[in-house]
Structure 1
Amino acid sequence: MIPIFESWRQPVKLLFMAVAVAVVLVSLVFSNRLVKQLAKEERSKIEIWAAAMELLPKSGESSDMKLVLQILQSNKTIPVILHDKTAGSFSANNLKIPEGDASGYLLKKTVEFEKKHAPIVLEELNQYLYYDDSYILKRLQLYPYVQLSAIVVFIVLAFTSLVSSQRAQQNKIWAGLSKETAHQLGTPLSALTAWTEYLKLRSFDPVLIAEIDKDVDRLRVIVDRFSKIGSVPETGTAVWQEVVRRSVAYLEKRISGKVELRFKFPESPVVVQLNEPLFSWVVENLTKNAVDAMGGEGVITYTMGERGNYCYLDIDDTGKGIAKSRFNRIFQPGFTTKERGWGLGLSLAKRIVKEYHNGKIFVKQSEIGKGTTFRILLRRRW
């Protein structure tokens, strides 16, 4: 069966991711082209600057000298180093030279500059001109990464907001549906209670009335559970072994006789903080799923223990198992492998354990054809 919420939520996620990737790619391509264009312009400027250096000794007229000096003085952003091979000297422009060994520092810089750009050779003067990217170009080279970081942050925030919005909407649906269900069940439940009292007065079969009372009490528990969804339920300390046994007791008489229930509980009480009506719902859902997975025949084992600050409850079945790719998806609302299932049982179980008991529920292990183990973790009550 196709998940109810997944059928429309997945396309939205894919579209959102596609748009985000497209924005990032367009931004990176544009920035990269801009950087390359600016780098070419700087290369042209340096070549003109080098040509001016070669013309400087030849400029006899004052007008030519003025133009050459104007060109040389125009470079205020591109770091350059001029190495005179004949004299073995270095001169630099737009570089902060530390005090001390200036020649050694400039020699190291020429090596760095040469790795980025091929030097310009002034053959007539036997000089080599090394240059680095301007400060503007360096900032522009960093800009795509800053922009990418900003886009990633925006995508994360937008995606988180979208997920939160969807989750809030689902929570409203959960709460509204649960409250309405509890309200609708209240009227026939009151009528059933009155009818059982009437049957007692008419001296009907006590055994039959006792069974009806059990089902009426069961309906009261269900109404109580639904009424607690969407609000903060009250919790109290309880012995976990007793809660689990009471939760299973109702189902034990209503499932196939070919299903064996085994309990591996410690002798000492495992005390936890929980709301029994809601937590019993979790145990019942997992037990029903286990029975369905085994086809009404097999063994369900309830194992309990303590580990550090947590207590754990493992519910293990000998059913058909779950593929690893579905370990997380099975807890999503609407996801089900049953032809007539709604896919709400495990989602509800996770909500009860996580939000109402600050615990965890997950698939501990599963093997196709051999069975599945669900684990529930609750904080230990000292």
Structure 2
Amino acid sequence: MRAYRISVNLKLGLIVFAVLIAVASLAYTNRLVRQLGEREQSIMQLWGKAYEQLSKAAQPQELNPYLPELRALEALLRRWQAGEGAGLPSPETIERYRRAVLWAQSMPQTSELSFITDAILVPNTFDIPAIVVDAETGRPVNWRNVPGVPDTLSIRSAEDSLRLMHRLEARLDAMAAAFEPIPIRIDYGDQRLEQRLYFDESNLVKQLRVFPYVQLLFVGLFILVGYLGFSYVRRSEQSSLWVGMAKEAAHQLGTPISSLMGWLEVLRLPGLPPAERQAALDEVERDVERLRRVANRFSDIGSLPKLERMAVAPVVAHTADYIRRRLPQQGKRVRLEVDVPPDLQAPLNPELFEWVVENLLKNALDAIETDEGRIEVQGWGENGKVHLEVRDTGKGIDRRQWKNVFRPGYSTKKRGWGLGLSLAKRIVEDYHGGTLTLAASRPGQGTTFHIELPAGR
């Protein structure tokens, strides 16, 4: 159940993560696009005013603001040349004044004109499509950055000119729908020329509008790949779990069945003494009890077992006795010591918890590769918790492999199938509400597993 909840929570977490990324990206991009749009509108208004000022500055009265004064000086020079007035300058001086006036009349005030041309209109640094249209005729008179239309005004043929105008007029409809045109008013004496500046979003803004959806696509692909990978790993673990369960069931049932078959052969012997027959029947009874316990274990794995508050020591001692009977068959001189206080109690399912202790002791026994070794089981109570540690003097586990110890299918034994620790962890955590952790392990120095259970009341 916990694995299923983790799977569902992970999937929901991925979906929520994707939604949050999409919402945050859309909100930020919309804000950025709005700011850039306002900036581009301000730029185009500046561009329109610059265009208007350039046309205004090109008129004669604007090119040289001192023309009236120069005309007055010119009239004075004409009187001097006619000999009118007192204290006339020499003819050479009058000629020099005349040339100075003519030169001043031809010099415009170019600083403002140069700034508008060089800093605003000519560089074209904003990459904003724009078309200037005559208000009366509706014909484009100037354009810039229009896709598919060159900025140059040089047209080779009438066909090129007609095709270019069609493209510009087609773009005008889209620009008019996007933004309100900016009016440009130019006065030539008593006449007024009106034009309109149409514009559209730059390529940068258009790309930014698409960016959140591209980002969402990549996030979706990432989640899809992660989901498929997670599903594959989960299916692989489930497959390993089922295979391991089948092998574990065969192993658990195989030992008492083999023993029963042997005792049946003993009971069939003719002339068997009554004492030996009774001993054989006692062994058969123990094997039958073992089979019942194994059946109950697998039955409780698929359901929520009932927990009863009981002493921990007898459960551990019963399993330790079973392991001790196997020690001579292993050909090892291993000491198995149990130190669990008799008053230490916790809510347990005895058959499942025996399976946990049995798996830990079997792993400890298999980890001892030398002829001699020691396994210790120690228990104590602390802060409303029951603690149980299983220590061995075996080969230990490399620190890089700690994270894989409880994974189904992981095993360092040549003939193991990597299910014992995974089942033990599930029984302790899912059925008893406790924890099973690898407390310590070093290669060549042994391993310590730690069980923590609620003491209950």
TM-score (norm. length: structure 1): 0.58
Q: Tell me the equivalent position of 1:288.
A: 362
Q: 1:182–1:224: 8 Å Cα contact kept in structure 2?
A: no
Query: Which residue type is aligned with residue 371 of structure 1?
Result: G
Determine whether 1:333 maps to 2:412: no
The separation in 2 between residues aligned to 1:217 and 1:356, in whole angstroms, is 26
Q: Tell me the equivalent position of 1:253.
A: 325
Q: 2:263–2:280: 8 Å Cα contact kept in structure 1?
A: no
For residues 91-138 of structure 1, give each alpha carbon's deviation from its aligned partner in whole angstroms, at most 9, with x where no partner exists: xxxxxxxxxxxxxxxxxxxxxxxxxxxxxxxxxxxxxxxx99987555
Q: Pick closer, same or farther for the CA change 1:177–1:222 going to 2, 3 Å.
A: farther
The separation in 1 between residues aligned to 2:251 and 2:366, in whole angstroms, is 25
Q: Pick closer, same or farther for the CA change 1:253–1:188 going to 2, 3 Å.
A: closer
Query: Which residue type is aligned with residue 54 of structure 1?
Result: A
1:162 to 232, 237, 249: 232
Q: 1:318–1:370: 8 Å Cα contact kept in structure 2?
A: yes
SS at match of 2:326: coil
2:291 to 220, 226, 229: 220
The separation in 2 between residues aligned to 1:266 and 1:199, in whole angstroms, is 46
Q: How far did 1:314 drift?
A: 0.8
Q: 2:389–2:448: 8 Å Cα contact kept in structure 1?
A: yes
Q: How far did 1:177 drift?
A: 6.0
2:273 to 197, 203, 217: 203
Relative to structure 2, which stretch is displaced further, 211-220 or 231-240?
A: 211-220
Q: Tell me the equivalent position of 1:10.
A: none
Query: Which residue type is aligned with residue 301 of structure 1?
Result: E
Q: Tell me the equivalent position of 1:314.
A: 389
Q: Tell me the equivalent position of 2:305.
A: 234
Size of the aligned set, in residue pairs, is 290
Q: Pick closer, same or farther for the CA change 1:147–1:52 going to 2, 3 Å.
A: same
Query: Which residue type is aligned with residue 315 of structure 2?
Result: V
For residues 53-83 of structure 1, give each alpha carbon's deviation from its aligned partner in whole angstroms, at most 9, with x where no partner exists: 32212447996577689999969679xxxxx
Q: How far did 1:219 drift?
A: 4.2
The separation in 1 between residues aligned to 2:285 and 2:313, in whole angstroms, is 22
Contiguous gaps of at least 5 residues in structure 2: 1-32, 60-131, 145-171, 181-200
Determine whether 1:53 maps to 2:53: no
The RMSD of aligned alpha carbons is: 4.7
2:378 to 290, 296, 303: 303
The separation in 1 between residues aligned to 2:394 and 2:298, in whole angstroms, is 33
Q: How far did 1:216 drift?
A: 1.9
Q: How far did 1:315 drift?
A: 0.3
Query: Which residue type is aligned with residue 306 of structure 2?
Result: T
The separation in 1 between residues aligned to 2:46 and 2:177, in whole angstroms, is 11
Q: Tell me the equivalent position of 1:277.
A: 351
Give identity over the alignment, percent.
24
Query: Which residue type is aligned with residue 244 of structure 1?
Result: V
Query: Which residue type is aligned with residue 316 of structure 2?
Result: V
Structure label with greater radius of gyration: 2
Structure possessing the higher relative contact order (Cα contacts under 8 Å, 6 or more residues apart) = 1
Equivalence map 1:361-380=2 (5 Å)? 361-380=436-455
SS at match of 2:327: coil
The separation in 1 between residues aligned to 2:254 and 2:300, in whole angstroms, is 15
The separation in 2 between residues aligned to 1:319 and 1:182, in whole angstroms, is 24
Equivalence map 1:165-184=2 (5 Å)? 165-173=235-243
Q: 2:256–2:287: 8 Å Cα contact kept in structure 1?
A: no
Determine whether 1:323 maps to 2:398: yes
Q: 1:56–1:65: 8 Å Cα contact kept in structure 2?
A: no
Q: Pick closer, same or farther for the CA change 1:143–1:182 going to 2, 3 Å.
A: same
2:417 to 322, 325, 342: 342
The separation in 2 between residues aligned to 1:277 and 1:201, in whole angstroms, is 39
For residues 189-224 of structure 1, give each alpha carbon's deviation from its aligned partner in whole angstroms, at most 9, with x where no partner exists: 887787777779953443752673365246425642
Query: Which residue type is aligned with residue 335 of structure 2?
Result: E
Q: 1:286–1:315: 8 Å Cα contact kept in structure 2?
A: yes
The separation in 1 between residues aligned to 2:302 and 2:142, in whole angstroms, is 81
Contiguous gaps of at least 5 residues in structure 1: 1-37, 79-130
Q: Pick closer, same or farther for the CA change 1:271–1:197 going to 2, 3 Å.
A: farther
The separation in 1 between residues aligned to 2:299 and 2:400, in whole angstroms, is 33
Q: Pick closer, same or farther for the CA change 1:364–1:183 going to 2, 3 Å.
A: closer
Q: How far did 1:365 drift?
A: 0.7
Q: 1:301–1:316: 8 Å Cα contact kept in structure 2?
A: yes
The separation in 2 between residues aligned to 1:200 and 1:352, in whole angstroms, is 47
Q: Tell me the equivalent position of 1:8.
A: none
Q: 1:282–1:352: 8 Å Cα contact kept in structure 2?
A: yes
Relative to structure 2, which stretch is displaced further, 69-78 or 138-147?
A: 69-78
The separation in 1 between residues aligned to 2:288 and 2:272, in whole angstroms, is 21
The separation in 2 between residues aligned to 1:255 and 1:182, in whole angstroms, is 17
Q: Pick closer, same or farther for the CA change 1:243–1:219 going to 2, 3 Å.
A: closer
Q: Pick closer, same or farther for the CA change 1:142–1:51 going to 2, 3 Å.
A: same
Q: Pick closer, same or farther for the CA change 1:323–1:374 going to 2, 3 Å.
A: same
